[in-house]
Amino acid sequence: MLSKKTKYALHALTYLGKHREEKTVLIHDIAEEHGISHKFLENILLELKKAGMLGSKKGKGGGYYLIKDPKEIPLSKVIRLLDGPIALLPCVSLNYYEPCSECKDEATCGINKVMIQVRDETLKILENKTLEDILKT
Amino acid sequence: MLSKKTKYALHALTYLGKHREEKTVLIHDIAEEHGISHKFLENILLELKKAGMLGSKKGKGGGYYLIKDPKEIPLSKVIRLLDGPIALLPCVSLNYYEPCSECKDEATCGINKVMIQVRDETLKILENKTLEDILKT
DNA sequence: ATAAAGTCTATAAAAAAGATAGGGTTTATA
DNA sequence: TATAAACCCTATCTTTTTTATAGACTTTAT
């Protein structure tokens, strides 16, 4: 399951996507709309900004705005950023690889082999579903 | 990512699958093979047994054994048992449904709609990969 | 100047995961 | 029939992760 961080990020991105004609959107408005903590959301938006999905304007009259086309924001990117690996095991993660301690030999481990296949197929899904898909429904 | 519980369960099932000619296998042997806690594994094997994947024999000379054909044990079943939902959000879980508090109206929520699609496609993968796939590699 | 709004870092609280403990029950076998 | 081996069951403790909060700082419009 996705963490609340990722879930909130998706809601925030959706909100920003729906308000693209406005110059900026306040954290406060997004938080209120979904009944989530302003301060918690603040950290999340900051991460999305650092990852290049959002822009911001400081000071009075400031706020956040999308700086990417929604179809350029795949779910895989949001999930990886806030939740970490998409792979089911560390030993098959492309972005967060770590060996599995209980596995004697990765090269001959059947679990490893199958999880690589699962990862590749899962990635196909999550790289193809984008913010645009969320916005257009 | 899978929890250690699920990971250990997969290792145990694999071990049992590889020792099907033997009548029973000791918890101890599985735990030692993978360097994991005997007592922790004990609880996991018990759950797998209650779920109908394993049989056991008590008393001296006892142990565990597979009571299903490996191709009848899909990853989805193991994951759901030890880790819970496969869906990315509670509001789209088939087996563990719960509404999302930050979502005003599920019926019109784009995130919900997309996550249903992701769930269905993920399920196709995890229902089709079975213990047999792990054993045969 | 002032107030509004994002930036940043640290810490606290809550929940979940991982691990351990120990007594109970069953069964083969000497 | 006593004993040791092995699974059964439940409770509790520890650690890690997640979620949430706090507060000081910086920037900017008016």
8 A C-beta contact, residue B62 and residue B72? no
- What pLDDT was estimated at residue B68? 97
**d(C-alpha A53, C-alpha A55), whole Å:** 7
Residue B104 has pLDDT above 90, yes or no: no
CA atoms in the 13 A half-sphere facing the CB of B15: 24
Q: Dihedral of the CA atoms A94, A98, A101, A102 (nearest 10)? A: -10
8 A C-beta contact, residue A41 and residue A35? no
- pLDDT tens digits, one per residue of B54-71: 999 999 999 999 999 999
Please give the distance of CA B91 from its chain centroid, rounded to a whole number.
Answer: 21
- pLDDT tens digits, one per residue of A33-86: 999 999 999 999 999 999 999 999 999 999 999 999 999 999 999 999 999 999
**d(C-alpha A118, C-alpha A3), whole Å:** 21
The residue ranges of every structural domain in chain A are: 4-66, 73-135
Question: Which CATH number does the domain A4-66 belong to among 3.40.50.970, 3.40.50.1220, 1.10.10.10, 3.30.420.10?
Answer: 1.10.10.10
Percent of chain B at pLDDT > 70 equals 100
- What pLDDT was estimated at residue A137? 84
Enumerate residues 6+ apart whose C-beta is below 8 A from B107. Answer: none
Which of B2, B90, B102 is facing A36, going by the closest CB pair? B102
Q: DSSP letter at B136?
A: T
CA atoms in the 13 A half-sphere facing the CB of A42: 5
**d(C-alpha A38, C-alpha A44), whole Å:** 10
Whose structure tokens read 């394993």? B54
Å between B38 CA and D4 C1'? 19
Chain B contacts of A85, Cβ < 8 Å? 1
Q: How large is the angle between the packed helices B110-128 and A4-18, nearest 10 degrees? A: 130
Residue B126 has pLDDT above 90, yes or no: yes
Which of A2, A14, A35 is facing B110, going by the closest CB pair? A14
Whose structure tokens read 């599985």? B30
A94 at interface of B, judged by CB pairs closer than 8 A: no
**d(C-alpha A136, C-alpha B63), whole Å:** 55
- pLDDT tens digits, one per residue of A109-129: 999 999 999 999 999 999 999
